[in-house]
Each structure stands twice: as structure tokens, then as C-alpha cells.
Amino acid sequence: MAKQDPRSHRIVITGATDGIGLLLARSYAARGHRIMATGRRPEVDRTELYGKLPIYYICADQSDPARTARSLSEATDRFGWQKIDLAILNAGVGWKGAAEDENFASIDHQIDVNLAGTIAATHALAPALLAGKGRLALIGSSLAEGGVDFATYAATKGALSGLAKSLQEEWHDRAGVTMIHPGPTQTDMHAKAGMQLGAVRKFFMRADRAAAAIERAVRRGEDEREIGRFYAMRAKWQKPGEGQL
Ligand SMILES: NC(=O)c1ccc[n+]([C@@H]2O[C@H](COP(=O)([O-])OP(=O)(O)OC[C@H]3O[C@@H](n4cnc5c(N)ncnc54)[C@H](OP(=O)(O)O)[C@@H]3O)[C@@H](O)[C@H]2O)c1
């Protein structure tokens, strides 16, 4: 059997069938790392999504958090991954509209996929992450601080910051934790949420740039990183004293 390259890391990426997660999976795999890619789809066309790259897909639908945890635990056992170097918990969904118009199915779905599913995945992967002195990266959003028409989505992303801060303390000498907040990014996430962006989309960050910035923050072992031009623009618009309590 060929000897494993010691620089080849074991990486789990959730929501790796589209957008930022798919780009991250391809980028890491192209550099020789082994990727466990997850998503909600029962099956995927592996060749179409990943070509010949060392990316192995498992279905872990985060709308059922407990099942997601089981699927991830079973998969790490099956793969013989007692140690994991990096887990990027990226799967997410959104809904846009006035808070009072949102129905409970949509509220539940976002809480399950974005928050409970991510916490469940963290629990399932924690033993292998800690054994490998690895790094957990959570993908939040610039909306984590709140945003008009995104109340539930913002709440789920804000809560991930609490998860990251807690684990940074609990795991401080055992594993790293990076909280990443991308600004608006050119993916199909908005269309999936029923939003028609129109011309505004061209002002969003390119998805490959978002993926590269996430990789950089992880490589540098940063605790927290905001990415995209949204933050620079917001700082420019903000008048002195505005938004400060
Ligand atoms: N795009 C933005 O403007 C933006 C801004 C800030 C933060 N973010 C965050 O960045 C992350 C990636 O988003 P993206 O823009 O790349 O969106 P995307 O292209 O829609 O990708 C999201 C990924 O999550 C998967 N997913 C959806 N529901 C799932 C479920 N129930 N269980 C497991 N996986 C599920 C999707 O699967 P399918 O391929 O089957 O849909 C896809 O692989 C998300 O956490 C998002 O909140 C995005």
C-alpha cells in the first residue's frame, strides 16, 4: 500500500455540494488533502461535482440534527478517521422577509440546519478533532449582528458566534476554533431562498474569493475573521458614534 503523505490532512466540510463549501472542498482536495464532503442530497453525481479529486460524499441532512450527528459519527468510523485535522461547518440556508411574515416551518428549518445541525456536527466530530489537535471553523455571516428582513437567519448566525467563543475557551489548549463571517457572496443561496437579487449581485464578493479568505483565516489560526468588501463599505457609511450603545 502506498505510504500516506504526512502533509495530507483529513478535512470535513459540510454543505460541500454547492457554493463556498464546494469550492473549499475542491481547493483543499486539489492540494492533496482528503475530504469528507457532506450535504442534504441523498446522492450526488460524484464525478460531476468532484471529478477525480479525493472527496468522499456522505449525506448528512442537517434539517435532522440528531441524524446528522449519527451519519457523521458512522462515517468517521467507517473511514477510520480517529483524528481529524480540520472541520469547516459551512452548510446553511436562509429566508428573507418581514419577521412577522415568516412561518414556523421556515423558522424551524433555519434553526435546525444553521444552528442545531451545526452543533450536532460539532459534537459528532469533537472526539476526532480533539484527538488530532485539529481546528473547527464555523461559517457565520455579516448578518450575525442583525439585519432587516433576516431575523431568524441573523439569530442562527449570531448564535454560532456564541458556540465559537464557548469552544475557544473549552478547547483552548486542545483544538483551534475559527469563527468566520462572510459578507454577501455570489452563490445561489439567495435564489434557493426565493430571492431575486438582480443588479445588486455584482456588488457581492466572488465565491472563490470568499473560499480563499476562509482558507487564509484557517491557515493563520485566527479566532475570528470578517471577510468581504461589505465590512469596509459599512465602516465608510457609519457616522461617528452611530450604532454605538
Ligand atoms: N452567499 C452569501 O451571501 C453568504 C453570506 C454570508 C454567509 N454565508 C454562509 O456561507 C455558507 C455557505 O453558503 P453559500 O452561499 O455557499 O450557499 P449555497 O451555495 O446554497 O451552499 C450551501 C450548502 O449547504 C447545503 N445545505 C443546504 N441545506 C442543507 C441541509 N439541510 N443539510 C446539509 N446541507 C445543506 C447546500 O446543499 P444543496 O447544494 O443541496 O443546496 C450547499 O451545499 C452558509 O452557511 C451561508 O449562511 C453566505
Q: Is the CB of 40 inside a 6 Å radius of any atom of ligand 1?
A: yes
The atom number, within ligand 1, closest to the CA of 63 reads 31
Return the C-alpha cell found at 182. 462572510
Give tens-digit pLDDT for 28-71.
999 999 999 999 999 999 999 999 999 999 999 999 999 999 99
Q: Is the CB of 18 inside a 6 Å radius of any atom of ligand 1?
A: yes
Residue with CA nearest ligand 1 atom 17: 189
Whether pTM exceeds 0.85: yes
**What span, in angstroms and rounded, lies between the C-alpha atoms of 68 and 198?**
35
Give tens-digit pLDDT for 155-173.
999 999 999 999 999 999 9
Q: Is the CB of 228 inside a 6 Å radius of any atom of ligand 1?
A: no
Domains in the chain with CATH codes = 10-237 (3.40.50.720)
Q: Is the pLDDT of residue 6 over 90?
A: no
Give tens-digit pLDDT for 194-242.
999 899 999 999 999 999 999 999 999 999 999 987 777 777 776 655 5
Average pLDDT, integer, range 11-26: 98
The atom number, within ligand 1, closest to the CA of 190 reads 1
Work out the pLDDT band at 85, boundaries 50, 70, 90. Answer: very high
User: What pLDDT is stored for residue 245 in this prediction?
Assistant: 45
**What span, in angstroms and rounded, lies between the C-alpha atoms of 124 and 126?**
6
